[in-house]
Amino acid sequence: MNKSETEYAQPIGLDIGTSRIVAARNGDRKYQYEAELNAFITLPHSKLAESLLQRENVFHEVQGRELVVAGNDAQKFAEVFHAETRRPMKGGVLNPQEPHSLAVVRRIITKLIGKAAVEGQRVFFSIPAATAEGDGGIAYHEASIRQILAELGYDATPIEEGLAVVFGELGACNYTGIGISCGSGLCNVCLAVLSVPVISFSVPKAGDYIDAKAAMVTGELATRLRVQKEQSFQLNGMNGDRVQNALNVYYREVIAGLVEALRGHISATQRLPKLDQAVPLVVSGGTAMPRGFLDEFGRALRASDFPVPLSEIRMSADAMNSTARGALMAALC
């Protein structure tokens, strides 16, 4: 194989997120990422509509009497028709209320990474940690993703999302510290020591909760609030804008719940390793990206009598790709 073929056959990291699916590869001296929105919208099927979608190179497939437009193109169509996108995943796992869920996720994964360049090519894919209520279908979700990847010729290994953040962000600290991924379906947390996970859990209030609650009190579409939240929202208190006010209220609720869960889980751990020095905490994920999030999170954390000494509280320099990058680094080990 030539150089480009060799790089293509190297291991892959895959972030199977509720909002986005991100693939990470180790390219020429830098990481390379490809992402698709983990969403779809359906249109009534007609030969004319199908031919127009094909001509415009829209990512879609025909399923019975429907045209299923998926990935990034789904957002564009949702804005045109002033409709909500539909989500193949909910709460970090495949959405049981969506009959198209598995087929859409399969198509998005196939578009991003294709068939394995060599049989048994390694891929590490993210899965959520259990919440306080239990695994919530994680076992079925993991088996389904593993099967999709096996059909494409990959040797697939799951990695919990919080641990992937540790791998992606804390190499300089011997993979010791706390990694948090604030996503759409869940906030995933992992405390690791020398790459070994000590505590892993997830919190169900995350980005989708903020979007749904803010949409409920403002009458806006949750899809549009998600876009606004990621592009222009700033967590800086109440002002005259009702959408900004609603997002501020529910962001603070999510942050308070995350800090309380962190403090509670770590305090309740009976065999917590003895840490000789303070450890770093790094936050990633699309929900953590608005300006002001880290300041608000840090204030809440410092006010909570946190049971582990922290050397720093920082945001990932590439928050949207942190989980995929960590999964890739685990696959390369």
Cα–Cα distance between 309 and 317 in angstroms, integer? 23
User: What is residue 173's DSSP assignment?
Assistant: G
Question: pLDDT digits over 58-84, tens only?
Answer: 888 888 889 899 999 998 887 777 777
| Domain annotation covers residue 194 | yes
Burial 267-280 (b: 16+ CB within 10 A, else e): eeeeeeeeeeeebb
Q: What is the pLDDT of residue 4?
A: 54
**Based on the domain organization, do 206 and 258 belong to the same domain?**
yes
| Domain annotation covers residue 28 | yes
Closest C-alpha to 222, from 231, 235, 213, 234: 213
- Give the three-state DSSP class for 20: strand
**Prediction pTM value:** 0.92
Q: What is the pLDDT of residue 83?
A: 76
Closest C-alpha to 104, from 183, 112, 8, 52: 112
**Count of CB atoms within 10 A of residue 90's CB?**
18
Q: What is the pLDDT of residue 294?
A: 96
**Based on the domain organization, do 180 and 146 belong to the same domain?**
no
**Based on the domain organization, do 123 and 248 belong to the same domain?**
no
Which residues make Cβ contacts (< 8 Å) with residue 202, sequence separation at least 6? Answer: 92, 128, 129, 130, 131, 161, 162, 186, 187, 188, 189
Tens digit of each residue's pLDDT, the chain (333 residues): 545 555 568 999 999 999 999 999 997 778 999 999 999 999 889 999 889 888 888 888 888 889 899 999 998 887 777 777 899 999 999 999 999 999 999 999 999 999 999 999 999 999 999 998 888 899 999 999 999 999 999 999 999 999 999 999 999 999 999 999 999 999 999 999 999 999 999 999 999 999 999 999 999 888 778 777 777 888 887 776 888 899 999 999 999 999 999 999 999 987 788 887 899 999 999 999 999 999 999 999 999 889 899 999 999 999 999 999 999 999 998
Distances (CA, A) of 313 to 177, 178, 215: 10, 9, 31
Q: Which domain holds residue 105?
A: 3-40+74-161+322-332
Q: What is the pLDDT of residue 236?
A: 80
| Domain annotation covers residue 31 | yes
Tally the domains of the chain. Answer: 2
Q: What is the pLDDT of residue 172?
A: 95
**73 contacts 66 by C-beta, under 8 angstroms:** no
- Give the three-state DSSP class for 114: coil
**Based on the domain organization, do 201 and 235 belong to the same domain?**
yes
**Based on the domain organization, do 17 and 143 belong to the same domain?**
yes
| Domain annotation covers residue 54 | no
Q: What is the pLDDT of residue 278?
A: 94
Q: What single string gives the DSSP state of each residue in 40-85?
A: EEEEE--HHHHHHHHHTT--EEEETTEEEEETHHHHHHHHHHT-PP
Cα–Cα distance between 72 and 36 in angstroms, integer? 5
**Based on the domain organization, do 201 and 294 belong to the same domain?**
yes
**319 contacts 264 by C-beta, under 8 angstroms:** no
Question: Could you tell me the CATH number of the domain that includes residue 246?
Answer: 3.30.420.40
**Based on the domain organization, do 147 and 183 belong to the same domain?**
no
